Structure 1
Amino acid sequence: MSYDVAAVRARFPALKAGFAHFDGPGGTQTPLPVIDAIAGALANPLANRGGNTAGERNAEKIVTDARQAMADLLGAPATGIVFGRSATQLAYDFSRTLAKTWGPGDEVVVTRLDHDSNIRPWIQAAEQAGATVRWADFDPATGELSPDAIRAVLSDRTRLVAITAASNLLGTRPPIAEISRSVHEAGALLYVDGVHYTAHASVDIERMGADFFACSPYKFLGPHMGVLASRPELLETLRPDKLLASTNAVPERFEFGTLPYELLAGTRAAVDFLADLGPRKGERRERLLAAFTTLEEHEDSLRLRIEKGLAAFDRITVHSRAAERTPTLLLTIEGHSTADAYSFLAERGIDAPAGSFYAIEASRRLGLGDTGGLRVGLAPYNNTEDVDRLLQGLSDFMA
C-alpha cells in the first residue's frame, strides 16, 4: 500500500502554521479525530463509572474502549492495561510496589542508554530497599546495547532489569526478545520503556518478552498520559499502596483516583488513526500491524534522505549509528553550539530541538555532557519538503 502523506497531513490542524516538525520524539502533533474525540467526551454527560445514568455509562464505555484499543496496539490483554498520568509516574508507582519485595543482597539492573524515567525510579527504590544497582553499558561508538552487556551484569540475585525498547536520544533499538530470555533465565522481571518505540514500530509484548511495557500516547498522536501493559496474572501478585475504599480489582488497583475520561477517549482515537494508516480491512490489531509496516517504510525513506543529505556536511557528526534504530538522529556540529542551531532553525519554521532530553546518562556516555545535541525525529506527517527545509536550514546555519 502506498502512503498518502498529503492526506495524512491534511488531518493535522497544527501543520497549517507552516512549521516543519522534527520534534516528534518529544511529543507529536494531534490529528483532528483525536481532538474531536476529546471534545466529544467532554460535550456529553460524564460521571464516575457505573451503569445507571448516561454519564456513568459514557465513562464506563470510554474506559473499556480505551483499554481494548491499547490492548490491540500492544498485543496485550485488555485486563493488563493500566492507565496513569505519564510513563514516568507509572515507573515510580511500579518501582515502589515491586521494591516491597526487595532487600539487601538483591540486585536491580539499569542501562546507560535509557531515559532517566527508566533509571532514577529504580535506583531510588533500590536504595530505599537496601538493594544493589548494577549498570549495563552501551557502545558509544555504535550506539548499540548488546545482550552480552546485559548478561554481564545478571546474577541469581537480580530481581529486575529496566531497559528501553528504543533510545529517545539515539533511536537505538536493542534486541529486547533476546535480552528478555537471559533476564528470565536469571529469574528476574523485565520492565521495558516503550515510549519512543511505540511511535515507530508494532508492539507485541508477549513476543518481546516484556513483563511490563510502558508507553505514552502523546508520542503517537494522542493526548498526554501514560499506559502500562502487563500480564493480568502478574499484576494480581502486586500490592500497590492505595485508598481503603478503592477497588482491589486488576488493573484498577493501580489507577489512583478518577481517570481522565477525555484523554482516554483521545487515546482510543489515536490508536484508530494509526490503524487507518494502512489497509482498512480486518480487525484493528491486524490493521495496526499492516499500518506500522507502511509507516516504517515511509519514515525510513525520509531518514535515509536526511542521512544522505547530512553526509555532505563534513562538520556534522551523526551519533545515531545502531543497525536497528528508529528514524531519530542525534547531531553535533563542529565549531557550533547545537542550542544556537536549534534557535536558528526555529526562526525559520523548523522545529528540531537541542538537548539531552532526559537521557542524561546516554548523553554523558557519548561525551556530550548534559548538553546533548540536535535531535531530528520523524513522525507520520513528515514529508520530503520538511527534510529539504531541514537540510537547507543546516547549510545556512553553517555558512
Structure 2
Amino acid sequence: MSNQLSTGTNNASVPSRNSPAELSTPQHAPFTTTPDVLLNHPMTIRSFILHDILLDKPIEKSFFELSGIFGSSRLSYSDFMYWYNKFSRGNFGMEDERRPEFSTLPVHIIERIVEKLELKEIMILRNVSKSLRNFVDQRDEFPCKSIEIGCDSNYIRCQFNKEEVIYASTSWRMPIDYDHYEYGHAKVMRSVDYQKIACDQLRYVLMKPKLQLNRLYIRCEYGSVEFSELECFETLFNSIGRMIVAKKVIIEVHGPAMTINVLSILDPVTLSCIELNCFKRPDGSEYDYEIWSTEKINQLTSLDQWKQASELIAKDPFDFCEPEHFSQFGSLRFTFDIIDREKILKLRNVSKNMFSNPRSSLTSCSVQTESKFDRSVLSSRNGFVLQRHRSFADDVTLHYDFPNVDGCYLEVHYYPKHDEITIQKLWR
C-alpha cells in the first residue's frame, strides 16, 4: 500500500512555486466560447497582463499577443505599460490608482472647467493635447477685447485683454528689473519653435468669427529688432483670409511692410482710429527695414481703412506724407521730436491746406513735442496774432488768418504744461 502511494506521488505533476512556467501549460486559453462581456471587462485584461508577468514573458511579446486578443481599442500601449510596470513592482492590486488626466475627463466637466479659466490659461490648454485643442477651438464664445503683440529677438509677448503670455526661446530668462515688472504675472511658454507657437495661438484668436476688438496693438519691444524677427507675422496676417473687427489699431513697427499688412486685414467699416509710429527708420542699417517711398505712401493712403478712419495719431508723418493725405480725417494728433520755426511753418501751411480744402472733414489738429517747446515760434512774424482776452495763466491763444480767405481762420491754443498745441478751424 505504501509502495502504491509512493508510486502515485512520484507520477503526479506537482507545480513548484519557484517555477512560474509550470503554472499553466497553455499560453492563452482559446476565446471562441468566451462571452463578450467577460472579454471586454477591464479585470480580464489586467489578469492576462499579470499572467504574462508571472510567466516571465518578454514585454514586447506580451503586448503583441494581448493586442491581437483584445484589440488596440481596448488595450492601448499606455494602459498596458501602466499595468505591466505596476505588477512588475510587486503591486498586484487590480484597482486603477492613476489620477484622471484632464484630457480624459467627461466633456461636460471640461466645459465647466474651461468656462472658469482665464484667457491666457485657455491659450496654454490648447497645447496640452489635440483633443483639447479641438474642444477649445469649437467654442464660439471668446471674451477678448484687446490684443497687444510685442516682438523681441528671443521672445514674443502677447497680451490678451490684460493677461500676459510670453512665448520664448529655451534660453530666455525673465528680466527682474523694474522696467519689466509686468512679466512676473505672465504665463511663459518656452520652445525652440516659440514663434510658430505664438503665431498659431494668435491665428486661433484672430480667426474667431465673433471676435470684436476695441484695440489691436503691435510693436517692437524695448527698441528695434531685425525685420526678420517680424516676418512670421507677415505670414500670419496673410493667412487669415478674413477681415478683423477692431475699433483702433496701434502700429509701432518701422517701415511700410508691417503697417500696410496689418491695416489691410482690418474691417474698414468698424476701424475708427489709426495710430502709427512707423515713419522713422531705426538707427543703423543692420535692421534691414524697408524705407517709405512715394509708392508705399500711395499704397498706404489708398487703403479703404485709411480713407474711412475718422482719427489719425502719428509721429513725424510730414517727412513722407502730403497735406491731402490727411484731409479725410476728422481729427489729427501728431507728435514731433522737436518743433522749431521750420516745423511750425510747415505745420501752419499743412493746416492751412487741410482746413481750406472744401472736401476736408478735418475739424481739429493736436500737436505735441517730446522736447521743450520754443514759444517764440508762435510769433507775429510767422503770422500768428496773440489774443490777450482769450489767454489765461500760462495758456496762450493765437489766431492765424488765411491769405485771401475771409470766411474762416485758424485758432491756435498753446498749453505749456503739456508742450501741446491744438489747432481748430473757426468760421467768422
Report the TM-score when normalising by structure 2: 0.23
Q: Name which one, 1 or 2, has greater alpha-carbon Rg.
A: 2
Q: Which protein, 1 or 2, shows the higher relative CO under an 8 Å CA cutoff with sep ≥ 6?
A: 1
More helix by share: 1
